[in-house]
Amino acid sequence: MPLRDGRLSHDIDPSDRAPQDACGVFGVWVPAEQAARAEVSKLTYYGLYALQHRGQESAGIAVSDGSRIVVFKDMGLVAQVFDESVLNTLRGHIAVGHCRYSTTGSPTWENAQPTFRSTDDGGLALVHNGNLINTPELAARLAPGELTATTDTEVLTALLAARGEGGVLEAAREILPATRGAFSLVFMDEGTLYAARDPEGIRPLVLGSLEDRGWVVASETAALDIVGARFVREIEPGELIACDGQGVRSERFAEARPKGCLFEYVYLARPDTTIAGRSVQATRVEVGRRLAREHPVEADMVIPTPESGTPAAIGYAEASGIPYGQGLVKNSYVGRTFIQPSQTIRQLGIRLKLNPLREAIEGKRLVVVDDSIVRGNTQRAIVSMLRDAGAAEVHVRISSPPVSWPCFYGIDFATRAELIAGNLSVEEIRDSIGADSLGYISLDELISASHIAKDNLCRACFDGQYPIPVEQDARGKHLLEATR
C-alpha cells in the first residue's frame, strides 16, 4: 500500500522519468561515551535528508550500541519512514543509513537497505550506492536459498558476514578484490564503521570529521555540511577504511583506476556538493557558458526548466548577454500521484507541476535550458506549453551531450531503445519536441568544464565506452529474481 501522502517526485511527467541514481549512503561513528549527546540516529536522519535526491523509494537506518545492531527501514521518503519516536529507539554510537532507488532488485521492503546478517560473533549491517556487474558470479559462492532479498547488496552482505575467525576486515580483504562494478559501501559491525569504494571510483564517497573524535562517511559533501562535519577528503578508488577508537585506518584492496561518473556533474549530485575539489554548481554554470558559445541564438530571454536547468541557464545568460528570467513556475509540493491520468488529461498532470508565467514570456523569443533529454516527453510538453502561453520562439539548449546509452553502474536510465537520442538524430529530436532549434553541449566541452581528465571519467551514457565490460547475463534489474 502506498503511504497516504504519496512519494515526492521531481519528475514533471511520470511517463518521462528522469535518470535515477541508485541511492545515497551515510555512516557515522562517535566514541561510546559521546553516544547520548551525539544521537547518531538523528545525525543519520539529517544526513539522509540531505541525500534524498539520490533515492526516494525506501529509507533505513541501522544503529549499534556496542553489543547489538538494530535496523529500521521501510518504503517511502526519509521523513515518511522516520519520526521522533522511532529515532529515539535507535540508540548507540555507530550508525549507517540509506535512501534507495532500485537498480538491481524490485522496489520492495525486503530489498530496502541497510541489509543485515547475523554472524557467529555478532552482526553486520551494510548500505550500498552503485551497481555490481558480476552479481551472478558472486551469488554462485552462496548456498542455494541463502539469499533473503534479490539485490547485489544482499549478495555482498551475505559474503562479508561469512567472515570466520578473521572478522569483517579480513572478509572485506577477500571479497572486495573479486567484486566488479560500481560500489560505494558503508558497513558496520558492533564496534567499527567501515567504508569502501570500487577501484574505478564511479560513485562518490567522502570522509568527514565531527568534534569529539567522531567520523562521518557520506555520498556527498553536502551531507557533511548538514550534520556539521568537516570535510576531510574523498575516499579513494580501491580504498577500504575502518573507523573506531583507534581513529581512521586505511588500506588498499585494489589499485586505483579512476573513472568518476561524468553524469554526477550534469544531474545527480546536489549543486552545493563538491567533487574532486570543484563545486558542482560552478561546473554547471560553466557548462552553461560553454553551451552559449557552442549554440548561440538571437533571443529575448533565457529561462531554465526548474530546478535542474537553473545553473546552466545562469551561465548561458551570462555568456550570451541575453537576460535571465523566470518563465516556468514549479509547484514544489506536488507528489507522485497514484491516480493514473487518462490521455485526455495527461497535460493537466504536467501543468500541476509546471505552469508558464504568461506575462513574462508572451511575444518573447525564449531559450529554454535543461540538463538532459531522456525520452523527450517532458521537453515536448514544455515547448507546447510555452507556445500556448504566447512565446514567439522556443529554442531548447541541453547542458549534457545526447544520452544515447544505458548505464550499468548505478543509474537507472531507460534502455537504449527507449532513449530518444539512441534512435533519432539531433534534428529529428528537435522536430519531435517541436522546438525552433535544439543544441546539446559537446562531450569535449562538458569534460573540460569538469576539470577532470577525460581518461579519468566514465562517459558511457554519452559515448558507449564502458570502462568495465558488462556481460549480457549480468545486466537487468531483476536478474536475481529469476533464480529464486
Indicate which residues carry an active-site annotation.
23
DSSP string, 409-437: SSEEPPPTTT-GGGTS-HHHHHHHHT-SE
Q: How far apart are the first and last CA of the chain?
A: 24
Q: How many residues does the chain have?
A: 484
Q: How do beta strands 58-64 and 206-210 pair?
A: unpaired
Q: Which of 309, 224, 317 is nearest to 267 (CA)?
A: 309
In sequence order, the β-bridge partners of residue 356 are 328
- What is the spatial distance between Cα 217 and Cα 195, in angstroms, rounded to a whole number? 7
Secondary structure class of 41 (helix, strand, coil): helix
Closest of 3, 9, 22 to residue 333, by C-alpha: 9
Instruction: For the beta carbon of residue 202, count every other beta carbon within 10 angstroms.
Output: 29
Q: HEC profile for 251-318? A: EECCCCCCCEECHHHHHHCCCCCEECCEEHHHHHHHHHHHHHHHCCCCCCEEEECCCCCHHHHHHHHH
Give the separation between CA 420 and CA 269, rounded to whole angstroms. Answer: 23
Residue whose C-alpha is closest to residue 126's, from 168, 183, 70, 185: 185
